[in-house]
Amino acid sequence: MTILVKKRVQYTVDQAIMESAEYIMAKVGLTPATVLSMVYAEIARTGKIPVTTQVGDEDFNTARLIAVSHNIPSVKVSNDADAAAFLEDDGGY
């Protein structure tokens, strides 16, 4: 009889990458835990790191948009003068 031993895996991932990847996983009906188990199993089975895109272009582009949205600068507006300055700034255009 084989006894299945489970191990908890903890990792740190950039938030933009995580949100983008989890969006894709959800689109195909998978959880991060399931995907990680699948990756480990594929590495053990083939000896290769599996990296392929398996969602449609629209979903992939949405995931990329999620990732790049984390690099958009933000402006804090806390009073009327700041709000007026923000609305008057054309960003140099």
Q: What is the pLDDT of residues 25-41, one digit of tens each?
A: 999 999 999 999 999 99
| Model confidence at 2: pLDDT above 80 | no
pTM over 0.75: no
What are phi and psi for residue 26, nearest 5 degrees?
-65, -35
* Cα angle 33-45-63, degrees, rounded to a multiple of 5: 40
Q: What is the pLDDT of residues 51-79, one digit of tens each?
A: 775 778 888 888 888 888 887 777 788 89
The amino acid present at 78, given as its one-letter code, is: S
pLDDT of residue 23: 93
